Structure 1
Amino acid sequence: MRKQILLTTGIAALIGLGGCDAQNAPKDATSSTAVTQSIALPAGINKLATVTKTEGEIVIPFNKYVLDNGLTIVLHPDNSDPLVHVDITYHVGSGREEPGKSGFAHFFEHMMFQGSENVADEQHFGLITESGGTLNGSTNTDRTNYYETVPSNQLERMLWLESDRMGFFLDAVTKEKFENQRETVKNERGQNYDNRPYGLLRERVGEALYPEGHPYSWSTIGYIEDLNRANLNDLKKFFLRWYGPNNATLTIGGDMDEAQTLAWVKKYFGGIPRGPEVNKPEYTKVTLDQDRYISMQDNVSLPLVYMAFPTVHANHPDEAPLDVLMSIMGSGKTSLLYKNMVKNGKAVQANAGHSCGEIACQFSLLALPAPGNTLTELETIIRASLDEFESRGGATDDDLERVKAGIISGMVYGLESVAGKVSQLAAYETYRSNPDGISDDIARYENITKDDVMRVYKAYIKDKHSVVMSIVPKGQPDSVVKADTWQRYERNIPETTDETSLVLRPGVSDFDRSVIPSPGKNPSIKVPDIYRVEMKNGVSVLGAVNDEVPTTTIQVSIPAGQTHEVIDKLGLASLTASMLGENTLQSSAEELSNELQKLGSNVYFGAGEKFTTLRIRTLSKNLDPTLAIAMEQLTSPKFDEADFERLKKQQIEGLKNAKKNASPMATEIFNKLVFGFDNSFSYSNNGTIATVEKLTLEDVKAFYGSNYGPANAEVIVVSDLDSAIITERLEVLNNWKGQSSPVAAVKAFPELAAGTLYFIDKPDAAQSEIRIGKRAMNYDATGEYYRADLMNYNLGGAFNSRINLNLREDKGYTYGARSFFSGNDFRGVYRAQAGVRADTTADSILQFRNEINAFRETGMTDQELAFMKSAIGQRDARAYETPNQKLSFLSEIMTYGLDKTFVDEQNAILADIGKAELNSLAAKHLKLDEMITVVVGDKAKVMESLKPMFENIVELDENGKPL
């Protein structure tokens, strides 16, 4: 999991591993700033605490209540946007599972979306999507939560939905639903673990780090054999044990009438009986008697070494100083691992982490070697870096200042959305029995001393044993750090002896639950006010005020993207952007990183198709020094040869790693076939291995000199500061000088060999990646492009679209399937895609074809038309809440020369469009005989089943060239 208040980088950037959800473990509840509230409470609801906010205080105001059945209710009224976010968190995750029954908590999360006694199969998704909302659920080691963000008039309906699956679920569970979701979970494991480079790292480390039977010794997704062994009765028992209201927290934030909300909560949840009592998990210290070296061969391009030490548990007094140690060792360019491994080119990536759960934490150090270096050498450097921390005297004043600034800024950024605030409240209540945890967190980190950090280093790391994992490319077993000293055990699966029948807890209601609550009056939605400014050097500025939080986000779009590259220098725009994050003529990259971290600010450069983007995020009080750093990086890069060689190697290794991942490979090869191998934007932003290997520092300097001027640059700003203040602060842009060059001409697109299957072999792939499509219209906010997007919504644009319901929900072939139109001002595409279980590849393609063809021939139904209009017509209620959402809105206006009234034009089109026009667009744009198919999969497993489906099959290599 990620730290809730510390941003740790991990290895996601290169190897694609995401963390589990943030969480905090429980501690004694304390009440804060209690005040009297005047609303009358419904019978059966008691008030426990109120927290208010004073000026300048970092706190989330809330009122906390409890129902007689034990359901905890936390309400955070916030009428700044016409939406509500509803979260219900159950205090059960994979850490509550029994040996041999791994994956149950996550499996159950899937099952909870399959309908309940009064909610039909798929109706949960349908009702929320139709309401203009979004929804999901997630599971980690210690909790499962379900959440939705909807227009505020839909709140009652959300409470009806959530209460029905809490209290009226089991009678709706069927064998068919059970088997379908079992297959979906298997597909999720295949896509995110088995079929992903380094995807089994955490599972293998957990097995070695924790004793057999420890609930953290298996991954949240669980083992396939345990999922196969599970039966419907097991699932029902799990529900009855853990899904009672007394083990749940209902948290609601947003635009609500609190008295009415409580009345609805009482109505819908009050008749659900308590479940069994739930005790908090007990912490047992984990120790290792020796270093455990483990290894595995994987389909990767670079080996990896990962070292994990057992430490404490979340909210233990030593957790916070261990987090500081983590930051010193391996967070960013100020860290020891960066200095000793990345800066000198010995590793392409090196990080530290301290992941925590309720009953255990682990301190980790990770590195991927640059070519020419070995895992054994990196392990030696890691251990020497730990020694260096001690020999230099431990933590410095700068270290503590950086971490503490990161805490404060992270807290503030987390307040930018209602969903973020609700998530914080729900986590604090679940793990600490007190939603008001922010002040405690700030205090515990601000009180850390240098002695604390040295103390925990000596207590948990120095001379302590760890798990050391090597992941090496297949066929290279000798490149591990050391031969394995610990072997995976044959798991001891207990005999199932509990034959007791289920004791149900039927809920009661004094109203007709089968009646879906009607939504209230649609909320009034206001598009953000915008302002325009022209700087003296011609830079255009478009801005909007967001006065809910004291933050500023700035995006500078410089016409220096892929479209300015020549085809033999692919990746140059990306490499140049990376160089701007390194040394400048005035400062080292480490000095700038140190200052930014102490400001709690982020400055990022990245290249896309048309633009290189400079992204700035800061607390508004720190805007001036943050802008000064950003402008220093933009206008006076040093272009150091050592930086160039290091970043070039990293880019090449990233490209090699991407070749091991079937999903991006399939998409890139599809783009090359559709838009041509001689158009730069057909390729990954990072170019190709062959072109990047030939790039020189002089190429970077020339690209920068030709493209990084202010001409045609665009700036968008979202801030709590008004336009006058922003204009004054942005005066620094007038010091920006430089040249710009025209976009390279788009080469003619190739003629598609429609009906052809292009196949790329990926031996041993657990899944096949499928792409079906063709070129389509360029972007047009209010033209045929927009109308075609409306047409596709029911076919493949929503979770409960025809394609996804068929391939995921009905067949269980995939974790998700979609189709969409995508375009800009010079290219457009229509594509349907999914990663599917290997043995279903041929039938998945057939199902795609059947759905696309049926939609083209018969069009949508009246019900689908109404659904699409309702869903899209109401989703603007959540479109402009956060700074990032406002930034996206401004970017669309700026990039395509729109006025903000384009939203009104779109709404008018949506209201007036009918089936005839939409079905005509389907007939025009969904012609299968104009489309190609790309599959990346295991030829040995799937080719024979594909041959009867295609007259023309072309086998390609990993670069898209014919074999």
Structure 2
Amino acid sequence: MRLLGVALIGLVALNGCSQDKSAQSTEIKQAALPEGVTLLETHQGQAGKLAIPYKKYQLSNGLTVVLHEDKSDPLVHVDVTYHVGSAREEVGKSGFAHFFEHMMFQGSENVGDEQHFKIVTESGGTLNGTTNTDRTNYFQTVPKNQLEKMLWLESDRMGYLLDAVTQEKFEVQRATVKNERGQRYDNRPYGLLWEKAGEAMYPAGHPYSWSTIGYVEDLDRVDVNDLKAFFLRWYGPNNATLTIGGDIDEQQTLAWVVKYFGDIPAGPEVDDAPKQPAVLTENRYLTHPDKVHMPLLWWSMPTVYARHADEPALDVLANILGGGKTSLFYKNLVKTGDAVQASVFHTCKELACEFVLYSLANPAKVPSLKQLNDTMQATFAEFEQRGVTDDDLNRTKMEIEAGKVFGLQTVRGKVSQLALMETLYHTPDLVQEDIDRYAAVTKEDVMRVYNTYIKDKPKVVLSIVPEGKEEMQAHEPSFKFERQLTDITLVKADDLELRKAISSFDRSVVPPAGANPTTQVPDFWTSELKNGITVVGAINSETPTVYLQMSLEGGALLDPKDKAGLAGMTAAMMNEATQNYSNEELANQLDLLGSSISFSSGERFTTVNVSALTRNLDKTLTLLKEKLLRPKFDEADFERLKAQTLQSIQQSMKEPGALAELAELQVLYGNEHRIGVPNGGTMTTVSAITLDDVKNFYAKYYSPAKANIVVVGDLPQDKVLPKLAFVGNWQGADYAMPTFADFPAYEGPVIHFVDKPGAAQSVVTMVKHAMPFDKLGDYYRSGLMNFPLGGAFNSRINLNLREDKGYTYGARAGFSADKERGTFSMSASVKKDNTGDTLREMVKELSDYQLHGMTDDELAFMRKAIGQRDALKYESLGQKAGFLRTLLTYDMQPADIDARNALVQTISKDELNALAAKYVDPNSMQIVIVGDKETVLPQLSEFPYPIVEVTINP
């Protein structure tokens, strides 16, 4: 697995017992357990070691239950992980695991259609499901008073699903999955990379030889009975792990688990699959023409499998070769300007791992991927001469430790780790074991695995090139993928052996919620440095970490229109060399500390983000001082970054979503204002930027005059402020913020159409100007009004276009704003043949909502959903920092938050519907559509709107 991809983790157990398990205590506690529950293990970790404490149980039907208690926030996270992913599918029936993830949200015997999302949302929670090759999980985070209801929901779809699965639901979700494949894979630049590489890496029939999303031909082949058979084979409680973490009462939780899951019959026995690393006997070359601007060269080599003894050393090797600015790939490919990106990583799954090396070419400098191929090969030879340094090992070890400590911040992170490790390795907490096994890696280990698995070994070499430019490939293709489909037996209804759960209580009754937990707005302190910078801070003692964010108001709004992208270019240069350190030296120092410092620029702010382990904060701030006050602005760095930016702009023109955003800017703001141009600029404006422009922007706008700082961590105010003294000594003049007016006016809706030849999907957006941000006025209230229309999964527009029609993977509507202006928009990416249908449904939904507004049920849904979600708002450092940032940006006080919460419960339906009548008018909105002209334009001719073809020139 990758160094920081080990997993999110848990709780520092510095007061743990000297051993994890006690047979005597287990026997004593077993007597007090509910009938049918066995305590398997109590784990606290070892003293002074990192651990996630838990208790592991098993029900008589085989369900594994892992409980982790964390009283720090009034919330719980529930995860049900099934040990089934795409690797368990049959040849010719790919995509079933992911398909069934969708079906699990379509209602069960006692949960109505689309009600799962609604129940969790109105409980103030969040939810989702994910599928990969090896497992499928379903999870929700909710206020702690909603735990029983979540267990009822998850158990109902585990034991009482199949009677609710109909052919009609199957067809809708089949269309949704096909839309997802189209949107995320087939019609996305580089979207088929992993599929093509996997087809070449693994032999036919290997569990990893097809992608998780599956093939469309397989999805089209099967019917609902095949899907039911998949559920019956793999979705038994004996193939599942239920993990619950947070502010729980363990005895009550166990009683609920037994009540809701105990009567579900076990499924067929499931064994762990055998490890199956790939074996290549020769290089396999293949070429994939794609709608891309920048060619990509991809090497992958088979290695071991997850948690193999050689995995850590291979991870270290990957980090040395291509793990950031200290790596050989960065030096030889990115620093030279030959590649826009280049990286190396070791990706591990349950059954097999791959060592991957890739570079994204700069076509202005590299005419053929052969050139990158030669450089990558030469880098191997350089590594053999260079060897492994002490810093290589120390960086890796600190990266592992820091990544794990930063992962301690949320209950979800800890529960996810416990669930995954139990599912795949039958040991929930492997945190310390991971730290130890990476700490044990030696220089000799790294060289050994290089010689064993990498040097002169066969590999898959995939060239992704622009359509019609196959001459840019690295090598003539030697491999052609052909699916080997033998007899595929489809399931008949009579073949299904149903398992019927019989409940001892009335499952149709939704469990009541407990008393709402008390959620307090985080305490915070405010101070001012001697140069006037406001500092706002909050204490978070759950982990020994600190997060600092400095914001400089202005960002892209300060760009001259003819040099749009200057703020972004300046921020990018701030991430490069300083007067005393090269870029590589800075990166090495930060990696050795487990810290990060990054500069970025958005529309209104330039932002500096700093994260550090508390013990390394002083050294990290010394590096921040160097980067903030002594940038080098090196000419070579500037030319490289400018070239990368220009190539990225050209690549974005291949993506329908990016084209839609550019067209939307033109429609809303015209060509006369800076804000009518994307934040990153255009080919013309970026080409005009000089290094002197960057230096002048820094001198004028990197100033404390409009700066403020947010700090969240385990340090109090009196410890933080002295560390920021250097920022207080920073000097700079004030500057004015620009204002904008006279935006384009339209007499009525116009369809602004952008042709994307060959696009299989269309982006459909309706948009208008709206009010700027406010604390309690029309902006905030309109957000409440919009919630049933387009602000939740169960919103009208998403249920219509995704769940009812199957046109899209997702649709949304909402208001967005800053201090001076705002917008209202509704959008979806849809199948091209349904572009006109989608626009018709959007207009219909907007018209109906404007005329009739929300219903009483929708009002109640909004009140519950928004009114109960505060328990989830302030858990992590990032969440607390975001809350403080909002207070600073918009001059808000905690009393304003309280007033907002009160307004949610008291605002009337009449007032909300009056806002809908005022702001949700389709006749006041402009329409932006990006799609294939030949297919789409005929669908639009029936609408009573003028059609204007828009050309997007990068």
TM-score normalised by L of structure 2? 0.97
Higher mean C-alpha displacement, 280-289 vs 488-497: 488-497
- The offset of 1:183, in angstroms, is 0.4
Instruction: Deviation per CA, 1:192-218: give whole Å up to 9, x if none.
Output: 001111100110000001001111111
Hey, what's the Cα distance between the residues in 2 that align with 1:396 and 1:260?
53
Contact 1:705 1:739 in 2 (8 A): no
- 1:927 and 2:921 correspond: yes
Instruction: Give the one of 98, 103, 106 matched to 2:98.
Output: 106
- The offset of 1:559, in angstroms, is 2.3
- The offset of 1:432, in angstroms, is 1.1
Partner amino acid, structure 1, of 2:412: A
- The offset of 1:667, in angstroms, is 2.0
Instruction: Give the one of 313, 318, 330 matched to 1:321.
Output: 313
Local SS of the residue matching 2:706 = coil
What are the equivalent positions in structure 2 for 1:201-216 lying under 5 Å apart?
201-216=193-208
2:709 aligns with 715
- The offset of 1:740, in angstroms, is 4.1
Is the alpha carbon distance of 1:102 and 1:129 closer, same or farther for their aligned partners in structure 2, counting shifts above 3 Å? same
2:586 aligns with 592
Contact 2:225 2:491 in 1 (8 A): no
Percent sequence identity over aligned pairs: 53
Hey, what's the Cα distance between the residues in 1 that align with 2:748 and 2:736?
34
Hey, what's the Cα distance between the residues in 2 that align with 1:752 and 1:540?
42
- 1:682 and 2:676 correspond: yes
- The offset of 1:491, in angstroms, is 3.2
1:566 aligns with 560
1:269 aligns with 261
2:173 aligns with 181
- 1:232 and 2:212 correspond: no
Hey, what's the Cα distance between the residues in 1 that align with 2:619 and 2:670?
45
Contact 2:226 2:490 in 1 (8 A): no
Local SS of the residue matching 2:894 = coil
1:873 aligns with 867
- The offset of 1:794, in angstroms, is 0.2
Higher mean C-alpha displacement, 208-217 vs 49-58: 49-58
Give the aligned length. Answer: 939
Instruction: Give the one of 939, 952, 955 matched to 2:949.
Output: 955
1:663 aligns with 657
- The offset of 1:498, in angstroms, is 6.3
Instruction: Give the one of 764, 782, 792 matched to 1:788.
Output: 782
- The offset of 1:748, in angstroms, is 2.4
Hey, what's the Cα distance between the residues in 2 that align with 1:936 and 1:97?
36
What are the equivalent positions in structure 2 for 1:514-913 lying under 5 Å apart?
514-913=508-907
Partner amino acid, structure 2, of 1:645: E
- 1:131 and 2:123 correspond: yes
Local SS of the residue matching 1:612 = strand
Partner amino acid, structure 2, of 1:166: M
2:13 aligns with none
Contact 1:572 1:692 in 2 (8 A): yes
1:433 aligns with 426
Instruction: Deviation per CA, 1:546-582: give whole Å up to 9, x if none.
Output: 1111110000001240111110010000000000111
Contact 1:669 1:959 in 2 (8 A): no
- The offset of 1:710, in angstroms, is 1.0
Hey, what's the Cα distance between the residues in 2 that align with 1:178 and 1:665?
33
Local SS of the residue matching 1:548 = coil
Contact 2:204 2:483 in 1 (8 A): no
2:14 aligns with none
Hey, what's the Cα distance between the residues in 1 that align with 2:859 and 2:853?
10
Contact 1:667 1:771 in 2 (8 A): no
1:11 aligns with none
Instruction: Give the one of 469, 472, 487 matched to 1:479.
Output: 472
- The offset of 1:813, in angstroms, is 0.4
Hey, what's the Cα distance between the residues in 2 that align with 1:817 and 1:951?
22
Local SS of the residue matching 1:948 = coil
2:323 aligns with 331
Is the alpha carbon distance of 1:531 and 1:728 closer, same or farther for their aligned partners in structure 2, counting shifts above 3 Å? same
Hey, what's the Cα distance between the residues in 2 that align with 1:535 and 1:483?
63
Local SS of the residue matching 1:280 = coil
Partner amino acid, structure 2, of 1:446: A
Contact 1:807 1:813 in 2 (8 A): yes
Contact 2:293 2:654 in 1 (8 A): yes
Contact 2:665 2:678 in 1 (8 A): no
Partner amino acid, structure 2, of 1:704: Y
CA RMSD of aligned residues (A): 1.6
- 1:149 and 2:147 correspond: no
- The offset of 1:753, in angstroms, is 4.9
Instruction: Deviation per CA, 1:355-387: give whole Å up to 9, x if none.
Output: 111111111111112212121000001111112
Is the alpha carbon distance of 1:498 and 1:954 closer, same or farther for their aligned partners in structure 2, counting shifts above 3 Å? closer
Is the alpha carbon distance of 1:22 and 1:63 closer, same or farther for their aligned partners in structure 2, counting shifts above 3 Å? closer
- 1:283 and 2:275 correspond: yes
- The offset of 1:32, in angstroms, is 5.6
- 1:195 and 2:187 correspond: yes
Instruction: Deviation per CA, 1:165-184: give whole Å up to 9, x if none.
Output: 00011111001100000000
Instruction: Deviation per CA, 1:316-335: give whole Å up to 9, x if none.
Output: 11111100011011111000
Structure 1 spans left out of the alignment, 5+ residues: 9-20, 24-30
1:76 aligns with 68
Structure 2 spans left out of the alignment, 5+ residues: 10-17
Local SS of the residue matching 2:478 = coil
Partner amino acid, structure 2, of 1:161: L
Contact 2:53 2:68 in 1 (8 A): yes
- The offset of 1:727, in angstroms, is 1.1
1:502 aligns with 496
Hey, what's the Cα distance between the residues in 2 that align with 1:229 and 1:392?
54
TM-score normalised by L of structure 1? 0.96
Contact 2:86 2:211 in 1 (8 A): yes
Local SS of the residue matching 2:828 = strand
1:27 aligns with none
Hey, what's the Cα distance between the residues in 2 that align with 1:155 and 1:326?
42
Hey, what's the Cα distance between the residues in 2 that align with 1:356 and 1:437?
16
Contact 1:757 1:950 in 2 (8 A): no
2:436 aligns with 443
Contact 1:708 1:739 in 2 (8 A): no
- 1:459 and 2:452 correspond: yes
Hey, what's the Cα distance between the residues in 2 that align with 1:497 and 1:760?
43
Hey, what's the Cα distance between the residues in 1 that align with 2:468 and 2:496?
51
Contact 2:8 2:416 in 1 (8 A): no
Is the alpha carbon distance of 1:776 and 1:425 closer, same or farther for their aligned partners in structure 2, counting shifts above 3 Å? same
Higher mean C-alpha displacement, 215-224 vs 280-289: 280-289
Hey, what's the Cα distance between the residues in 2 that align with 1:326 and 1:656?
30
- The offset of 1:684, in angstroms, is 2.5
Hey, what's the Cα distance between the residues in 1 that align with 2:51 and 2:35?
30
- 1:404 and 2:391 correspond: no
1:28 aligns with none
- The offset of 1:732, in angstroms, is 2.4
Partner amino acid, structure 2, of 1:6: L
Hey, what's the Cα distance between the residues in 2 that align with 1:577 and 1:368?
22
Contact 2:663 2:950 in 1 (8 A): no
Partner amino acid, structure 2, of 1:417: T
- The offset of 1:22, in angstroms, is 8.5
Local SS of the residue matching 1:138 = strand
Hey, what's the Cα distance between the residues in 1 that align with 2:53 and 2:624?
35
Hey, what's the Cα distance between the residues in 2 that align with 1:379 and 1:752?
53
1:489 aligns with 482
- 1:312 and 2:304 correspond: yes
Contact 2:787 2:795 in 1 (8 A): yes
Instruction: Deviation per CA, 1:822-872: give whole Å up to 9, x if none.
Output: 001011000000100111000001111111110110111111100100100
Contact 1:585 1:638 in 2 (8 A): yes
1:944 aligns with 938
1:41 aligns with 33
Hey, what's the Cα distance between the residues in 1 that align with 2:73 and 2:732?
41
- The offset of 1:7, in angstroms, is 5.2
1:343 aligns with 335
Hey, what's the Cα distance between the residues in 2 that align with 1:921 and 1:106?
40
Instruction: Deviation per CA, 1:256-313: give whole Å up to 9, x if none.
Output: 1110000000000000111111111111332112111101111111111001101111
- The offset of 1:959, in angstroms, is 3.6
Local SS of the residue matching 2:650 = helix
Hey, what's the Cα distance between the residues in 2 that align with 1:156 and 1:32?
33
1:51 aligns with 43
